[in-house]
Structure 1
């Protein structure tokens, strides 16, 4: 039985996700997707490349930089530069090749594309591992997540199974400096998004099937609560769309065995992870995204079974479309947003 959403997040019923148009990238695992000022999709793939491609018209894939690691979450800044959470190298800032004035690039980790700058790779002296998702405020403050202090990105399933709850939400002040830990003990910290007025920041706790909110201003500043809970799948990346809608990529439905395992003693969880660690990961071939309002009520519940596109980890609304990314697939997909086409 599919778990129900919480009372504050109920919706009238699911909708059908329109047909998906694939855009091949020549790379695997475009985990997150964002759109730049010119309306082009930017994503990162497993070999470290940051790619740019138009969402409509002929497919033309450009490489704009190489991080030298594994790029995950992305955020486009007002000046055109791109924040990148690299699971191996930390929080980076990329200046796309077209904006550098040179085809060779410069700076630490740059490849044949644009320049790559490391903004943060340690927290309180500890190496920053599994840097996952990022959002930037209007004043230049950067909010980003680290999913686990025990597991790296290639062993993300181990974090879900062992339930170490060592994820963190971090803040980097304008102009750089030492990252500040805003929330600790998160259950697989993942996507992060700011409210339209930046009064709060929300983080996806993938292992807990919820979005946790931290108030940044107003009478509740500094308080933590739950924006939405008991989600029907694993929340991945988050993004903000029209009318303050928060889009949630659901990487997969909730499996009963995992729900049971996560309530088992620690020794059982660790033994189960050792047993499945060598096995291939085969997520169900289903695609689903949610769009919730600022109060946690579901505005969109869009799904397509047997879509041929698995493990949706990124979602972004742009120009009447939804753009989806995946940790496993070899490209992104685009579809019309129902009611906005």
Structure 2
């Protein structure tokens, strides 16, 4: 049963830059994020707002979105402008791993996950709209999202799945048998089978009560945390059933209209069966548009495409 409980805010940590779109916790309890000014930051001591400290790890430029820590301590960065990057967290060295796919520039690279054998999977949210016009894709419902695969030995990425509705967050199952893909525009999590008789095929992992954004797996066998960037919008569901020309016209209007996120936020924790372990919500939140969540110690840390900092909330009790 999906039982909603309160998301309890504790404090806010300013980063000095807007848009910490994704947040990931490292083994030492520090949180890494990227901001719209093209920097990769690491935040120390998030549990105490008086001692929290922001460290600049690298300045790759572009617009970093999804992050994935590698076993050797380096960081995979999905950059909406530059493609897939590898950032060395020790000295800030940046290397471009992929900037094109199937002869097309790799733009709006959104999230990545690396499997134990070194294979990397990457989502592309939209082939029609750039990041700054993301709302156009949500409104038009283009279905141009993709899942890419980069072999462990390297080389050019290959397209393994198309037709996704704003492909976004990405996480692997604990046993490595499937991936979970957040389809923001369809308010669902899709399972992509990697092994077994259904390998290469998809099915529904979970329908969610809002627009899922980044996913973060807590450890090798912990829950999958899901950020809900916005509640479900019934008029938008109706619009998605109209002819393509109607949706395209609505999208053209949407990308030029003023946008301000709502004040209802939420996060989920799911197990590998797609069952809800936690559903945390807050109405009237001063922190808007939660696009990522990770857990460290007794806290949940929220990131946002909109805010100039991260929010620290109480972690729910187990069970």
The TM-score bracket by the shorter chain reads: over 0.9
How far has the Cα of 1:91 moved from its partner? 0.5
Say which is worse superposed, 300-309 or 50-59, in terms of deviation. Answer: 50-59
How far has the Cα of 1:337 moved from its partner? 1.0
Unaligned stretches of 5+ residues in structure 1: 1-9, 101-113
How far has the Cα of 1:340 moved from its partner? 4.8
Where 2:147 maps in the other structure, the secondary structure is strand
**Corresponding residue number in structure 1 for 2:77:** 84
**Corresponding residue number in structure 2 for 1:241:** 218
How far has the Cα of 1:292 moved from its partner? 1.2
Q: Distance in 1 between matches of 2:38 and 2:257?
A: 24
Where 1:273 maps in the other structure, the secondary structure is helix
Moved over 3 A (4+): none
Q: How does 1:52-63 map to 2 (within 5 A)?
A: 52-54=42-44, 55-57=46-48, 58-63=51-56
Q: Distance in 2 between matches of 1:252 and 1:164?
A: 19
Asked if structure 2 preserves the Cα contact closer than 8 Å seen for 1:195 and 1:294, the reply is yes
Asked if structure 1 preserves the Cα contact closer than 8 Å seen for 2:231 and 2:265, the reply is no
How far has the Cα of 1:181 moved from its partner? 1.4
Q: How does 1:5-24 map to 2 (within 5 A)?
A: 10-11=1-2, 13-24=3-14
Does residue 225 (structure 1) correspond to residue 203 (structure 2)? The answer is yes
Q: Distance in 2 between matches of 1:186 and 1:329?
A: 27
Q: Distance in 2 between matches of 1:204 and 1:79?
A: 26
Q: How does 1:114-125 map to 2 (within 5 A)?
A: 114-125=92-103
Say which is worse superposed, 287-296 or 186-195, in terms of deviation. Answer: 287-296
How far has the Cα of 1:288 moved from its partner? 0.4
Say which is worse superposed, 143-152 or 274-283, in terms of deviation. Answer: 274-283
Q: Distance in 2 between matches of 1:262 and 1:220?
A: 29
Where 2:135 maps in the other structure, the secondary structure is helix
**Corresponding residue number in structure 1 for 2:110:** 132
Does residue 184 (structure 1) correspond to residue 177 (structure 2)? The answer is no
Where 2:9 maps in the other structure, the secondary structure is coil
Q: Distance in 1 between matches of 2:6 and 2:259?
A: 26
Inter-CA distance 44–143: structure 2 relative to 1 (3 Å threshold): same
**What TM-score comes out, normalization by structure 1 length?**
0.89
Q: How does 1:218-297 map to 2 (within 5 A)?
A: 218-229=196-207, 231-241=208-218, 243-297=221-275
Q: Distance in 1 between matches of 2:33 and 2:290?
A: 14
Asked if structure 2 preserves the Cα contact closer than 8 Å seen for 1:37 and 1:80, the reply is no
Return the match for 2:29 from 30, 35, 39. 39
Where 1:177 maps in the other structure, the secondary structure is coil
Where 1:191 maps in the other structure, the secondary structure is strand
Q: Distance in 2 between matches of 1:195 and 1:85?
A: 20
How far has the Cα of 1:236 moved from its partner? 0.1
Q: How does 1:310-329 map to 2 (within 5 A)?
A: 310-329=288-307
Inter-CA distance 53–144: structure 2 relative to 1 (3 Å threshold): same
Q: Distance in 2 between matches of 1:156 and 1:14?
A: 29
Q: Deviations over 1:177-228 (max 9, x none)?
A: 0112121110100000001111111111111111111111234322311101
Q: Distance in 1 between matches of 2:254 and 2:119?
A: 40
Where 1:290 maps in the other structure, the secondary structure is strand
Where 1:144 maps in the other structure, the secondary structure is strand
Asked if structure 1 preserves the Cα contact closer than 8 Å seen for 2:47 and 2:299, the reply is no
Q: How does 1:300-315 map to 2 (within 5 A)?
A: 300-315=278-293
